[in-house]
Structures are given as C-alpha cells and as structure tokens.
Amino acid sequence: MEHLKIFINLTRLNKPIGIMLLFWPCSWGLAYAYKLNQDLNVFLYYLLLFFLGSLLMRSAGCIFNDIIDRDFDKKVKRTKLRPIASGKISVKKSFVYVIILCLLAFLILVQFNILTIVLGLGSMLLAFSYPFMKRFTYWPQLFLGLTFNWGIIMAWTAVINDISYEIIILYFSAIFWTLGYDTIYGAQDMVDDEIIGVKSTSIKFKKNLKLFVGLNYLLFFLLLLFLFNNELKFNLFTLCLTLFFLSLVYQINKINILKAKDCLTAFKSNNLSGLILFLGILSINL
C-alpha cells in the first residue's frame, strides 16, 4: 500500500489537472475533425484512446521531470517532499516506471494511422526535452505549450490522415493558452525559483504578470475568433465561446502573486475552460 501511494505521488495521479490539460487539446482536435468525419463510434473510441494516452504520457513526464529536477525539488518548499527528492524511491526504479508507461502509451499510439504514429513518436523529443528548458531560458512555458498541445494535430491526423492550415492555427492558438496558464502556475514558486536559479515567464514578467497572462489569453481568443468566424451566430457555439472567454477573465482577475493558493485556483480552473471549449467545438457538428 505504501508503494502504491509513492507511485500515485510520483505520477501525480492524485492531481489529475495535468492529465486534463494534456487531454483537452486532443479533444479539441477530435471535435474539430468530427465535422469532416461524423462517425460517432470512431470519435468516441479515439476520445478514449487519447485520454488514456494523456494519462500515461503525463504520468511518464512527471516522473522524468522529477528525475531531472530532483536536486532543485529538494530546495523548493512545494516540491521537497516529492518521492524522488525525498528519497522514497530510487532514480533507477523511477526510470523503469517511465519505460513501462511509455511502452503502454506506444501500444495506444499504434492503434492510429502511420502519420499519427510518426507525429506521436516525434512528440517524445519535445516531452523529454522540456525539463531542461528552465535551466537555459525564461521561456520554458512556451516550450511546454509546443509540447502539451501537440495532441491537437495528432487527433486531427488520426481522423483525417492529413494536416490542414486550420488545425495548425488551432495548435498555435492553444500555445498561448498554455503560456498563460503555466505562467500562473509558476507564480507559486517564484521566490524559491529565483533563489535556486530556475527561469520562467513567471519570473521574467513578475512585475506585469496579469498583463502578460492577459495578452496571451487575448491572442488565444482572437485566433479562435478568426478560425471560427463563420460559426459566430446566435447558437450554442457562441454561448460556449463566451463562457470560455469569461473563464479566462476570471483567471486573470484571480491572479495574486502574494497568494499562491489563488494562483493555484486560477490555474486549476483551466480544466473547466478546456471542457467548455471542447463542448463548443463539438456543438458545431450538432
């Protein structure tokens, strides 16, 4: 039972927000592709596969991140009790878990077409490079955006077996979403991160954090308006898009660099934001 608890903490299964933030972009890509291939059985099956893939890859990513950051994590109040940093599990055993989770994710990946498999294998380079970014640049959140939203393109190609400029626009728009919400998340650790020399957009823009997050969310929303301009009518999609916009405004208003709890609340609310946008894109097909 103790080992199970360590595994859950190691993979953050007790904190599913990361799984959902990886999954929602996949669901947007699937919902967008559904208008061209309205096979409900395929849609639901792929939705399940991408959820399981998100769960497995986020879990593997968390472990790999903790392996790379173990010396940093020991010095940060929020992370010093993580299993690897606290010595509850060895690095060697943790690597074994990473390999097992990646192999399981690969079994899911091979259910798709060749193009999607190639894209999925390519995403591994992004996923396992991310933990190193905070050592070299103030923009690791941008790199996370490139990584976490890759599923948009994969979901589209899984259904359509091709890449279009529309799905590229959706992908790039979502990068601004991640850049915003992960800046909010990073605000929790700014004091410790500055002491140990870790870089982030939270630190770079700490004097204008709300403005920076707001600009990213605005760019995200404007790109959505551009992409879906033909759907802006008195309908369910427009209602969902309005609610989505209001959820982003709520987050910006909630940001308080002096209160880590408020930043965490704002960050977690992106789960609802992702769901709203998914329902909105899906409603186009109704």
Q: Is the pTM of this model over 0.75?
A: yes
Q: Which residue has the higher pLDDT, 205 or 197?
A: 205
Give pLDDT, residue 125: 86
pLDDT at 193 over 80: no
pLDDT band at 86 (very low <50, low <70, confident <90, very high): confident
Q: What number is the average pLDDT over the span 253-278?
A: 93
- pLDDT (tens digit per residue) in 179-191: 999 999 999 888 7
Q: Residue 286 pLDDT > 80, yes or no?
A: no
Helix (H) or strand (E) holding 172: helix 165-186
**Long-range contacts formed by 206-210: CB under 8 A, 24+ apart:** 206/257, 209/183, 209/184, 209/255, 209/257, 210/252, 210/255
> Around Cβ 106, how many Cβ atoms within 10 Å?
15
Comparison of pLDDT for 85 and 279, the residue scoring more: 279
Which class in CATH covers the domain with range 2-283? mainly alpha
Q: Which value, in Å, is the radius of gyration of the alpha carbons in the chain?
A: 19
Q: For residues 283 and 254, is the Cβ–Cβ distance under 8 A?
A: no
Please tell me the predicted confidence (pLDDT) of residue 22.
Answer: 96
Task: Quote the percentage of the chain above a pLDDT of 70.
Answer: 100
Residue 280 has pLDDT above 90, yes or no: yes
What's the Cα-to-Cα distance from 39 to each of 24, 149, 159, 220, rounded to whole Å? 20, 24, 10, 29
Give CA separation, 9 vs 55, 59, 67, 73, 100, in Å.
14, 10, 13, 14, 17
Alpha helices in 39-110 (DSSP H): 40-68, 70-73, 91-109
Burial 250-264 (b: 16+ CB within 10 A, else e): ebbebbebeebebbb
| 48 and 76 Cβ atoms separated by less than 8 Å | no
The whole-number average pLDDT for the span 167-185 is 97
Predicted local distance difference test score (pLDDT) of residue 26: 98
Q: How confident is the model at residue 285 (pLDDT cuts 50, 70, 90)?
A: confident
| The pLDDT of residue 173 is above 90 | yes
Q: How far is CA 250 from CA 81, 202, 238, 275, in A?
A: 31, 18, 18, 16
Tell me: the pLDDT tens digits for 228-262?
A: 999 889 899 999 999 999 999 999 999 988 888 99
Mean pLDDT in residue range 255-277? 93
Question: Quick check: 1 pLDDT over 80?
Answer: no
Q: What is the pLDDT of residues 245-254, one digit of tens each?
A: 999 999 999 9
So what's the pLDDT on residue 175? 97
Q: What is the pLDDT of residue 135?
A: 84
Poorest-pLDDT segment among 6-10, 125-129, 146-150, 158-162: 125-129
Tell me, what's the pLDDT at 258? Answer: 81
- For residue 106, give both structure tokens: 């690969």
What is the per-residue pLDDT across 132-166, written as a single tens digit (0 to 9) for each? 888 889 999 999 999 999 999 999 999 999 999 99
Predicted confidence at residue 134, as pLDDT, reads 84
Give residue 35's pLDDT. Answer: 87
